[in-house]
Amino acid sequence: MLPYIIAFSCLIPLGIWLRFFTPRRNFWFGYRTERTLQNEEDWKMANKLLGICSIYSGLVLTASSISAIFFPELRVEYIILMFIVFAMASIFIVEYFMDSNIHSD
């Protein structure tokens, strides 16, 4: 369980970094889509939103991994499934807010 705790707890500082210290637009790291690479404002907004999602995901997944130590019936497969759900939800959340931001302009 320790590798999962370490891996999921890394999402928290990564999210803080994306949220508060958004990297400059690049082709290597960040929330890179065709839309975000075209506009610096969209790049910053998408990465800040992804940072918020990463912080919350990291907190929940780390807590779940720690609780699996005390509750052995909580299987590793469920925690991995939660990670996949959080990752997919993060994409949908960022895309939803990106679309609503574009349509409100």
One-letter-per-residue 3-state SS of 59-103: HHHHHHHHHHHHCCCCCHHHHHHHHHHHHHHHHHHHHHHHHHHHH
User: Domain count of the chain?
Assistant: 1
pLDDT of 103 reads: 53
Domain residues for 47? 2-104
pLDDT of 102 reads: 66
**How far, in Å, CA of 35 to CA of 43, rounded?**
8
pTM score of the predicted model:
0.84
pLDDT of 28 reads: 79
Using CA atoms, how far residue 43 sits from 34, 39, 95, in Å, is 10, 6, 12
Contacts (Cβ under 8 Å, ≥6 apart) of 34: none
- For the chain, 105 residues long, give each residue's pLDDT as a single digit of tens: 788 899 999 999 999 999 999 888 777 788 888 888 888 888 999 999 999 999 999 999 999 999 988 888 888 888 899 999 999 999 999 999 988 876 555
Is residue 50 packed enough to be buried (19+ CB in 10 Å), middle (13-18) or exposed (0-12)? buried
